[in-house]
Amino acid sequence: MEIVVGKLSGFCFGVENAVKKANEILENRQAICLGELVHNRQVIEKLEKKGLKTVENIEAVPDNQNIIIRAHGIAKEVYEQAKKRNITVNDFTCPKVLAIHKIAERENKNSYIFLIGDKKHPEIIGTASFCGENMDVIQEKEELDQAIENFKKSGINRLYVIAQTTFSMEKFEAYADFISDKLKEYDVTINNTICDSTRLRQEEVEKMSKTVEYMIIIGGKNSANTQKLYNIAIKNCPSIHIQTKDDLNIEEIKKYNKIGISAGASTPKESIEEVVEMLERI
């Protein structure tokens, strides 16, 4: 059996940075994180053993406490609540997400904003709060017509388009083409804010899944970027999305001679190595 492991598998910079800094804090004291630090159960469980507590909203945090902000970021009003209640914020939001927040705050003064991404994802929920009132969150292509109508009715002549850092590159490009075609007479700026790590992983999986017989995508079930890698792979060859090696069907894998492996941006190196070792034993 030939095993091909993607060169870009595993932690991206934003996740590695958040996990590293959280571990540094936990060396000295327990800590409260607002939402899951990263979307990987194995990583979270290790941090919990060191004293990390996860809460879903700031109301659950006592006044005058310290909190950690997850890699996906939070809404603008949460920062304001923390300041009012004298809560110290250790902000481990991915720098690329923070950069999008700044873009949204800058552009909402003179532009209508289209924010493209998964509506329920914490990154989108956080970013939307920086976009002002004149905006639409767009997840599916079918929503574009209504968003364009909303923009036209707003009386604002400038449109600014941004995206979730982990959104599908293929979908974003299709949406961008549609918007450009429909709004030729308007001032439209399309800023592809999908991060390089996401884009390059998607490109790698696209190529790999066309050259192997079976793809294994490793990462949390609630990880948006991991799910998108799986969606790309499954179009080209039989594929599976697993969280750990225990999710593998060995009998199924034995049918194939060339296996490709990739992993999401929140997947630790150990999880990838464990899958590789299991395959090598077959």
Q: Report the length, in residues, of the chain.
A: 282
Q: Is 71 exposed, middle or buried (0-12, 13-18, 19+ CB in 10 A)?
A: buried
Of 36, 107, 123, 204, the active-site residue reads 123
Residue by residue, what is the 3-state secondary structure of 132-181? Answer: CCCEEEECCHHHHHHHHHHHHHHCCCEEEEEECCCCCHHHHHHHHHHHHH
Q: Give CA–CA dist 169/59, Å, rounded.
A: 36
Residue 252, token pair as written in the block: 């199924």
For β-strands 239-242 and 187-190, DSSP reports them as unpaired
Q: Are 79 and 67 in contact (CB under 8 A)?
A: no
Catalytic residue at 173?
Answer: no
The three-class DSSP label of residue 216 is strand
**Which amino acid, 119?**
K
Phi, psi of 88 (to 5 degrees): -80, 130
Which positions are annotated as active-site residues?
123
